[in-house]
């Protein structure tokens, strides 16, 4: 008997020495308190505090799967995705009591995400995820869709050639309105584009004119007429705008391109034979990228390149590449080409052609394919009378990524949640409404579910201006002063502006309403100029300030364009871009000098939907806030009433959220604590 007791004691001591001792009730109590505080810190956006609290809770319960899971979420929000994946995998190995499939899906999504743009050579292929049918049995809704224009809020406009109308759809494919143009109606409308001021342009193939509509689709006027002179057309088809908002129209009857200024006055035409160029025979699709005009010619099945003055430059792809190319639409560094029953992507840098989508062997005639704000392709099929929504196969199979990022239970049982919805490539999903969400508690529907906020509709953003304090930037005080004042003025008195000096240790100089910065002078900055500004630490400080505020938010980094060798010594570019993306912060940069902008700054802007600006560019930088507001945001706020007990605020209250869009869906399971009583 003594041997048995001694052996048991030895085993217990051995387990304790390796951290496997059975937790005591006191350990569980301490862990529960730290975990509760960690969850509350997480929902406040204090992710560093949350990490410390979860790690302290884990010291009491080393193998608790729920603590491991939440520690992973806190690291994920902090941009340290490698650690997040490791903790999630550890949670799955330690008797995980949650939904294993959901957590594994979260791990897979983070692993699949790659820093970079769409690469069609990686076998990216789109398949049907939904459709806006033009008929249901014998009932017709519209006829012969031929072109589509996506909107930033997830909605879209569709040109119906056969029924002579312009249709307005929401993200769920529900028709909002139908527009028939002037008093005598559209005359075979063909294409639609939007100008920077929101004005819509609709080409009318049989009317030989361009209709001008307000941003809401109300008819204003037309320009152009039938004929062969400048400003006249015979069968206008597709349109494109250059950086000066000159309007390029493919004129099928005249076998040329007609060019109008932004007010609709005819400027010139081009496309006739000259030199080695044989001339256009049947021009169709057209797009302008970096002020190079790309024109599809359906007879030879190719794409020609011109400058904005109409001078022939080159041929992009060999003749015979396409059967009957129609609309051309830009997507990053590619041109999407609608060609009979297939959609091709053409790399503008080298002319490489990849198949992006296909309707198979069914009778079809794809006339337009364009990317929408949710990472899908909107495809018009003229023959089958449908508008298809096509998604990448992994997106369709894996579903949407849904995450609860904030819970306010201070007015319990009324609970308010901020929810982020993305696709698997980190692109926000916009255009969702109340019917797109389902909130449950222990798989029972909650009461009073209401969508109370859609961040993509907000016209306010918070901005963190980071001023580089390197020796090089010190030479551009006047330009710096102008930049900060222009940013403050562009905010129109809305949102909060944070001014941070990027020194060896970042310093928050001032924060508040934009009006406080209208008279900014560089001498106000307290931080001194240094040889090695810590850009990485400044970015993290800026994000920490921005997270609790507006859902539309961004960083503007002002510098002389250069980056010192140790600027990203503590945090690498990949971790920083993850930190920015995981918290919905876009990165913009303003170059005060004529020097080339450092590639590190361009990288961060490219990976976070930001942009680079030169302080004295012709258009100025006044549009930087508008560009920031235009960055898509997939945040939604939902309010409901909970029916679960709280145990005086000590019980973890579970909640499940599902989001739906056409044939795609996503789900998350999380929880929160009610206030202590």
Question: Which residues, other chains included, contact 34 with Cβ-Cβ below 8 Å and sequence gap of 6+?
Answer: 53, 54, 56, 57, 60
Which domains does the chain carry? 24-112 (1.25.40.10), 125-396 (2.120.10.30), 399-457+634-673 (2.60.40), 462-630 (3.40.50.410)
Question: Which residues, other chains included, contact 46 with Cβ-Cβ below 8 Å and sequence gap of 6+?
Answer: none
Q: What is the mean pLDDT of the chain?
A: 92
Cβ(439)–Cβ(447) below 8 Å: no
Average pLDDT, integer, range 535-557: 97
Taken in order 541, 543, 544, 550, the sign of the CA dihedral is positive
Q: Is the pLDDT of residue 7 over 60?
A: no
In the structure, what pLDDT confidence band is assigned to residue 390 with cuts at 50, 70 and 90?
Answer: very high
Average pLDDT, integer, range 97-109: 91
Question: Which residues, other chains included, contact 649 with Cβ-Cβ below 8 Å and sequence gap of 6+?
Answer: 673, 674, 675, 676, 677
Cα Rg of the chain (Å, integer): 28
Cα–Cα distances in angstroms (integers) from residue 40 to residues 46, 481, 486, 496, in the given order: 9, 40, 38, 24
Q: Is the pLDDT of residue 141 over 70?
A: yes
Q: Is the pLDDT of residue 677 over 80?
A: yes
- Of 36, 126, 111, the residue nearest 81 (C-alpha): 111
> Quick count: other Cβ atoms within 10 Å of Cβ 512?
11
Q: What is the pLDDT of residues 584-636, one digit of tens each?
A: 999 999 999 999 999 999 999 999 999 999 999 888 898 999 999 999 999 99
> Quick count: other Cβ atoms within 10 Å of Cβ 354?
17
Instruction: Compute, in degrees rounded to 10, the torsion defined by CA atoms 233, 234, 237, 238.
Output: -30
In the structure, what pLDDT confidence band is assigned to residue 435 with cuts at 50, 70 and 90?
Answer: very high
CA 670-676-677 angle, 5° bins: 140
Tokens of 15: 């387990």
Which pTM was predicted?
0.88
In the structure, what pLDDT confidence band is assigned to residue 119 with cuts at 50, 70 and 90?
Answer: low
Tokens of 78: 């902090």
Average pLDDT, integer, range 17-37: 82
Average pLDDT, integer, range 46-52: 96
Average pLDDT, integer, range 173-195: 95
Query: Percentage of the chain surpassing pLDDT 90?
Result: 86
Q: Is the pLDDT of residue 423 over 60?
A: yes
Cβ(204)–Cβ(221) below 8 Å: no
Q: pLDDT value at position 113?
A: 78
Q: Is the pLDDT of residue 3 over 60?
A: no
- Lowest average pLDDT, out of 113-122, 220-229, 378-387, 553-562, goes to 113-122
Q: What is the pLDDT of residues 288-319, one digit of tens each?
A: 999 999 999 999 999 999 999 999 999 999 99
Q: pLDDT value at position 362?
A: 79
Tokens of 138: 């014998």
Q: Is the pLDDT of residue 5 over 80?
A: no
Distance in angstroms (rounded) separating the CA atoms of residues 432 and 634: 9
Average pLDDT, integer, range 46-50: 95
Cβ(536)–Cβ(570) below 8 Å: yes
Q: Is the pLDDT of residue 165 over 80?
A: yes
In the structure, what pLDDT confidence band is assigned to residue 122 with cuts at 50, 70 and 90?
Answer: low
Q: Is the pLDDT of residue 397 over 80?
A: no
């Amino acid at each position: 008997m003594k041997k048995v007791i001694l052996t048991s004691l030895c085993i217990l001591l051995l387990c304790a020495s390796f951290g496997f001792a059975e937790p005591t009730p006191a350990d569980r109590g301490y862990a529960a308190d730290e975990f509760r505080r960690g969850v509350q810190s997480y929902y406040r956006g204090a992710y560093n505090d949350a990490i410390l609290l979860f790690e302290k809770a884990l010291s009491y319960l080393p193998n608790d799967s729920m603590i491991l899971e939440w520690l992973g979420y806190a690291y994920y929000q902090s941009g340290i995705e490698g650690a997040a994946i490791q903790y999630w995998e550890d949670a799955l190995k330690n008797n995980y009591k949650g939904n294993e499939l959901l957590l594994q899906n979260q791990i897979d999504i983070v692993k699949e995400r790659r820093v970079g743009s769409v690469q069609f050579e990686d076998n990216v292929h789109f398949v049907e995820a939904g459709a806006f049918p033009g008929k249901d049995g014998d009932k017709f809704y519209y006829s012969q869709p031929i072109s589509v224009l996506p909107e930033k809020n997830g909605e879209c406009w569709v040109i119906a050639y056969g029924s002579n109308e312009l249709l307005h759809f929401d993200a769920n494919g529900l028709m909002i309105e139908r527009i028939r143009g002037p008093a005598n109606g559209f005359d075979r409308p063909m294409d639609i584009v939007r100008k920077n001021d929101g004005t819509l342009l609709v080409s009318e193939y049989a009317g030989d004119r361009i209709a001008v509509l307000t941003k809401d689709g109300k008819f204003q006027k037309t320009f152009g007429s039938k004929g062969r002179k400048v400003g006249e057309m015979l069968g206008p088809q597709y349109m494109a705008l250059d950086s000066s908002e000159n309007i390029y129209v493919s004129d099928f009857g005249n076998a040329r391109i007609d060019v109008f200024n932004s007010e609709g006055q005819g400027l010139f035409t081009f496309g006739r034979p000259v030199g080695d160029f044989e001339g256009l025979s049947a021009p169709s699709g057209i797009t302008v990228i970096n002020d190079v005009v790309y024109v599809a010619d359906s007879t030879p099945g190719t794409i020609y390149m011109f400058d904005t003055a109409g001078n022939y430059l080159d041929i992009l792809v060999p003749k015979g590449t396409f059967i009957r190319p129609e609309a051309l639409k830009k997507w990053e560094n590619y041109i999407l080409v609608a060609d009979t029953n297939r959609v091709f992507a053409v790399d503008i840098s080298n002319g490489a052609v990849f198949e992006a989508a296909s309707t198979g062997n069914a009778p079809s005639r794809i006339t337009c394919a364009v990317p929408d704000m949710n990472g899908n392709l909107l495809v018009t099929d003229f023959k089958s009378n449908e508008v298809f929504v096509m998604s990448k196969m992994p997106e369709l199979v894996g579903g949407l990524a849904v995450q609860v990022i904030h819970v306010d239970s201070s007015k319990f049982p009324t609970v308010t949640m901020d929810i982020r919805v993305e696709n698997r490539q980190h692109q926000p999903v916009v255009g969702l409404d109340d019917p797109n969400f389902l909130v449950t508690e222990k798989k029972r529907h909650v009461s009073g579910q209401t969508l109370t906020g859609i961040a993509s509709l907000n016209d306010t953003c918070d901005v963190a201006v980071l001023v580089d304090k390197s020796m090089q930037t010190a030479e551009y005080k006047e330009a710096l002063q102008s930049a900060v004042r222009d940013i403050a003025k562009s905010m129109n008195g809305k949102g909060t502006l944070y001014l941070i000096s990027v020194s060896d240790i970042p310093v928050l100089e001032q924060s508040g309403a934009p009006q406080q910065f209208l008279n900014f002078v560089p001498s106000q900055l307290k931080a001194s100029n240094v040889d090695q500004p810590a850009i990485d630490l400044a970015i993290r400080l800026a994000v920490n300030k921005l997270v609790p505020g507006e859902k539309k938010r961004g960083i503007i980094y002002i510098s002389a364009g250069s980056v010192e060798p140790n600027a990203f010594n503590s945090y690498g570019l990949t971790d920083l871009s993850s930190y920015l993306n995981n918290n919905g912060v876009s990165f913009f940069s303003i170059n005060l000098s004529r020097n080339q902008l450092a590639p590190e700054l361009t990288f961060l802007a490219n990976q976070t939907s930001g942009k680079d600006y030169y302080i004295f560019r012709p258009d100025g930088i006044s549009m930087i806030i508008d560009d920031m507001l235009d960055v898509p945001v997939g945040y939604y706020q939902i309010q409901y009433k909970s029916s679960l007990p709280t145990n005086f605020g000590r019980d973890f209250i579970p909640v499940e959220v599902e989001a739906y869009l056409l044939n795609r869906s996503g789900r998350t399971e999380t929880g929160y604590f009610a206030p202590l009583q």
